[in-house]
Amino acid sequence: MTRTIVITGASNGLGAALAYYFAAPHIQLGLMARNKTRLSQVSETCMKKGAITHLGIIDVTDTEAMQIWLNTLDQQHPIDLLIANAGITHSIDHQGKPESLEDVKKLLDINLLGVLNTIHPVLEKMLQRQHGQIALISSLAAYRGMPVTPAYSASKAALKSYGEALRPLLAQHNIKINIICPGFIKSDMSDSFPGKRPFIMNSNQAAQLIAQGLDKNKATIAFPWLLHIGILILSVLPFPIASFFMGLSGYNKAQYPRS
């Protein structure tokens, strides 16, 4: 039986690892990203594993282009699983200066509006079929905003809340919604994080944990478990105490490596 899986932000990092994990015979992979060269390389590897790939060189903030591409693919190969993975990060600078409005808008356009541009064309089709699965890549940062990455934390918190609201709403239509909240995953994006990265794991490990959670239809797929427990505790502590521990962890101010 053929299965169609769409992954945004598939040209590197977690998105590429997910593509490699799912690539197999009888799998149609819709791979989307802005970087044509890197996405083509990911596609070649997936095809060697037996998958058929369909590439979309598209910016997720381009609403019309996203609708056209996703609708066209879905008409030819109805989408079974959509993983909204594309995202960026941003942080405060060395002096602790807040992010500029321009940087915040750019991040929210990609991390939040870009996800909505990804979901809604596919959701409409899934509702017609009364079948499908949508995974939102949030973050453990959604549980407690980090002062070093305010806009990023806000965008991931919004995705977490949105997914939590959609899950019971769409369950009656046989559509599964899963919220994925990873910790630190080795990637270009995590390399730019201005602080410690405890329990960091490689993207292949993360992809396997995500796939296993999706198979079980877990509402929230959060890992690594020890960091998840820690952030859960922080989220329920009184704010001054939580902030104190955030400071001890080094997340109240940027700690960029010295060049």
- Domains of the chain, by residue range, sit at 3-249
**Gap between the Cα atoms of 24 and 51, Å rounded:** 5
**The predicted structure's pLDDT at residue 256:** 47
**Gap between the Cα atoms of 73 and 204, Å rounded:** 27
**Gap between the Cα atoms of 65 and 245, Å rounded:** 44
**The predicted structure's pLDDT at residue 257:** 44
**The predicted structure's pLDDT at residue 51:** 98
Q: What is the dihedral of CA 116, 118, 119, 121, to 10 degrees?
A: 110
**The predicted structure's pLDDT at residue 136:** 98
The CATH architecture assigned to 3-249 reads 3-Layer(aba) Sandwich (3.40)
> How far is the CA of 148 from the CAs of 85, 99, 184, 244, 251, in angstroms?
22, 10, 15, 14, 6
Q: Is 231 left (phi over 0), alpha (psi -120 to 50) or beta?
A: alpha
Amino acid code (one letter) for 8: T
* Sequential pLDDT tens for the chain (259 residues): 789 999 999 999 999 999 999 999 999 999 999 999 999 999 999 999 999 999 999 999 999 999 999 999 999 999 999 999 999 988 877 777 889 999 999 999 999 999 999 999 999 999 999 999 999 999 999 999 888 889 999 999 999 999 999 999 999 999 999 999 999 898 777 666 666 777 789 999 999 999 999 999 999 999 999 888 988 898 888 878 877 777 766 666 655 444 3
Can you give the length of the chain in residues? 259
Residue 1, SS3? Answer: coil
